[in-house]
Amino acid sequence: MLTAILVCVLALVGLVRWTQGDGTGARAAAAEGDYLPANLELLGEEKHTTIEPIDPTGVVGGLKAFDAIKNIPWAMKLARSWSPDAQLNKIDWRGMPPDGACDLTDEASRVEYNFGSRARDAAAREMAKVSAKIVWAAFTLSIQRSKISATVGTYTDMEVSGPVHDPVLECQPGRAVEVWRTMGLPFHRKYNLELNRRRGDGSFSFECNDWGVKELSSACVPL
């Protein structure tokens, strides 16, 4: 009997524990130095509105010089462990160097991927007709200070005509900065920019709120 109890206690100690967050929802907590598996199947279930820290295994090039475009397949794979129809809506760079490679081991830079699910969005709309239960239809994958986290959110259909496809990009964010520089954007050590899915055809474009420079297509052509 005592042996069985000890086995159960040791098993519980070895498990990653789900704990309630500070008013913002449940948070996946792991022992210091441990990572949660790169699987978001439980995200949004049983009040688990945030999962962190997520195992960085599979990240291309590491977090010290993170290339958000090259890591789209990694992010998409993670997103589709949450919902098979997950689609990328946006990438947000904060504190990006001119070459586009972010040092995500510090707090000065951050990259976020935003994903939405049409199926979950439709389910949320139907649920709202009969219940106050929340069906989360989107989530943000955030990377900063060497930590990867996923947090659920609501989703607004981007009003894309026809099927939504994975992004096909002919231009890197560093190249977008170069084009904007020719249009009057001053030199900065760090830039803030976004890659957004456009309404209508579902194509992607680069946007920068600095100095009113023009929106660029996914091929870095001014729109």
- Assign 186 a pLDDT band (cuts: 50, 70, 90): very high
Q: What is the pLDDT of residue 216?
A: 96
Tokens of 68: 């958000």
The pTM of the full predicted model, rounded to 2 decimals, is 0.83
Q: What is the pLDDT of residue 161?
A: 63
Tokens of 210: 């600095």
Q: What are 193's strand-pairing partners?
A: 93
DSSP-derived secondary structure letter, 156? -
Spatial distance between the Cα atoms of 151 and 108, rounded to a whole number of angstroms: 20
For range 120-148, the mean pLDDT: 92
Single out the residue of 22, 1, 23, 5 nearest to residue 13, CA to CA: 5
**For residue 173, pLDDT beyond 90:** yes
The SS3 assignment for 75 reads helix
Spatial distance between the Cα atoms of 223 and 80, rounded to a whole number of angstroms: 31
**Could you tell me if 89 and 158 are in contact, meaning their C-beta atoms sit under 8 angstroms apart?**
yes
Spatial distance between the Cα atoms of 34 and 46, rounded to a whole number of angstroms: 22
Q: What is the pLDDT of residue 46?
A: 77
Single out the residue of 174, 161, 175 nearest to residue 203, CA to CA: 161
Spatial distance between the Cα atoms of 35 and 126, rounded to a whole number of angstroms: 35
Domain coordinates in residue numbering, the chain:
17-217
Spatial distance between the Cα atoms of 154 and 123, rounded to a whole number of angstroms: 12
Instruction: State phi, psi for 206 to the nearest 5 degrees.
Output: -90, 140
Single out the residue of 122, 113, 126, 40 nearest to residue 83, CA to CA: 40
- Assign 154 a pLDDT band (cuts: 50, 70, 90): confident
